[in-house]
Amino acid sequence: MLPLLAIALAIGSGARTLAGEEEAGRLELVLSYPVPRRRAVAAKAAAVAVEVAAFCATAYAALALASQVFGLGLPPGRLAGGLLSVFLLALLHGWLAVGTGAATPSRALAIGVPAAAAAAAYLVGGLHGLAGWLDPFRFVSSFWWAGQAPLSSGVEYAHLLVLVLATAAALTAALVLIGRRDLDTA
Amino acid sequence: MTAAPAIETAALSKTYAGGVRALADLDLRVERGEVFAFLGPNGAGKSTTIRLLLDLIRPTAGRAWILGYDCRTDSVETRRRVGYMPGDLRLFDRLTGREQLDSLARLRGSVDSAWRRTLSERFAVVLDRPIRELSRGNRQKLGIVQAFMHRPPVLVLDEPTSGLDPLLQGEFRTLLHETVAGGASVFLSSHSLDEVQHVADRVAIIRSGRLTDVDSVERLRGRSLRHVTVTFSQPADPHAFASLEGVRVVGVEGVVVRLSAPVAAMDAVVKAAARHRLVDLVSAPADLEEIFLELYREEDDRA
């Protein structure tokens, strides 16, 4: 549940900050200032990261408190690892939203593309053990790399590195794509 | 770079995806210290040109420079030197005017804050209410302040006075005069000659993505049309005028014949009129709006 909430927040933020601003016509004035497009997109990506990090920090505090109060006995290290995987999962999709917004001015697409990617990854990650033919595809599922049950069984930090790389790739794509097109000024 | 003109374009062209040809082979040169008006009906390619200058969209062909900097490869340098007022100004509705200007000033880096205050006072800008509560005219005033607040050497203004009341339009003209007196250049787009004829040094006319004419406002007037009203002592045949080059018979009411005639045809008009007994002959200059229309008519005739 927590990863899905975090992803929804990240996609909303990523789509609003770039594609949404362009659709609203406000990006035109900002980009008429002496700001390189890449820097503007990098600043927006950073804002998404801050928002997701704040969400995860709040969730960490709430879960740590709940663990104390209800005696769940969650080791702080495992909780932190679990939330790090949630953070990376959400950031990946938030930056995919920024990247989609960098490629096209549509806010609907900037929500739809990462949401579809998340839904597919979620299904593959959850079903690959049940449906044998899906098994080879688990490697394209961000949820699989994030770990199936990080709070009970911990996270594989080597697997999280894959999420880090995918997230970096999404940001790189955003920075490249924004430089290549006409701003939508309709 | 000191010799470079304020704005220069060479064969600048833009065809949008889908094949819409918005601008074709535009060659322009805006000198330093002049107000250059860029005139044409809506959809003629004015905003396309401006967006190419600011690197918001990319040309299909051709190049453009501002103060010698390439608008494509040195766009941060060009935008540093430009104050831009979009034709369709969109601001952050949640912010107050002051917050919006603060945010833009930070983006700009260096802003003359005393000058910004002066501008806000001169245009009676509403600073302390959220922008969503402001009228179109009040938003437009924020647009003026943000375009001028860093004292840019080049101003690119897309229909800047739409929505301003007449008093502030006068103040805006004063501001333009001061700006060019200080050595800056202004590129001013408009669909109305009336709006620019008191401020512009030269006028370019664009239509369907093509430059049709560049001339000084004075010469445009000089080349201009005359409204000629001839009153004869008895009803006369207007066909004698209609056959003259460039002359149109606008109306005939009894003994009165109304013509529109280019200055070049005045001699022929007077000689044709003089064949009959005259009571009166009045010649008055047409205003620029009509000249504008006449230029378009010539274009159509040639096409």
State pLDDT tens for residues B50-107.
999 999 999 999 999 999 999 999 999 999 999 999 999 999 999 999 999 999 999 9
Residue among B90, B91, B187 with most chain A CBs within 10 A, to mutate: B90
- Residues in a beta bridge with B233: none
Residue B287 DSSP code: P
In a domain, A170, yes or no: yes
B90 to A29: CB separation less than 8 angstroms, yes or no: yes
Pick one of 3.30.70, 3.90.320, 2.40.128, 1.10.3470 as the CATH number of B225-285: 3.30.70
Q: Which of B147, B138, B134, B42 is CA-nearest to residue B86?
A: B147
Task: For residue A32, give the nearest of B56, B88, B92 by CB distance.
Answer: B56
Q: Taking CB atoms and an 8 Å limit, are A29 and B58 in contact across chains?
A: no
Distance of alpha carbon A148 from alpha carbon A47, whole angstroms: 28
Quickly tell me which residue has 């603060």 as its tokens: B102
pLDDT at A146: 85
Has residue A184 been placed in a domain?
no
Using an 8 Å CB-CB cutoff, list chain A residues near B109: 34
Residue B182 CB neighbour total at 10 angstroms: 10
Residues in chain B with CB shorter than 8 Å from the CB of A30 are: 107
Which residues of chain B does CATH 3.30.70 include? 225-285
Which comes out higher in pLDDT, residue B144 or B264?
B144
Among residues B146, B150, B155, the alpha carbon closest in space to that of B176 is found at B155
Q: Which of B58, B76, B86 sits opposite A34 (nearest CB)?
A: B76
Query: Taking CA A171 as the corner, what is the angle to CA A23 and CA B95, rounded to the nearest 5 degrees?
Result: 40
Count of the separate structural domains present in chain A: 1
**Residue A95 forms part of a structural domain:** yes
Q: Could you tell me which residues of chain A have a Cβ less than 8 Å from any Cβ in chain B?
A: 24-26, 28-36, 181-183, 185
pLDDT at residue B299 above 70?
Answer: no
Residues of A in contact with B107 (CB under 8 A): 30, 33, 35
> Are A33 and B58 within 8 A, CB to CB?
no
What are the pLDDT digits (tens) for B214-271? Answer: 888 777 766 667 889 999 999 878 888 888 888 888 889 889 999 988 888 889 999 9
Q: What is the extent of the structural domain holding A108? A: 2-178
Q: Is domain B7-216 in CATH 3.40.50.300, yes or no? A: yes
Chain A residues touching B47 at Cβ < 8 A = 185
A28: closest chain B residue by CA:
B56
**Residue A186 maps to a domain:** no
Beta sheet of B225-232, edge-to-edge order: B248-253, B256-262, B225-232, B278-285
pLDDT at B163: 82
Tokens of A186: 């309709």
Residues of B in contact with A183 (CB under 8 A): 51, 56-57
Are A34 and B56 a contacting pair at CB < 8 A?
A: no
Instruction: Kindly state whether residue A185 falls inside one of the protein's structural domains.
Output: no
pLDDT the model gives residue B235: 87
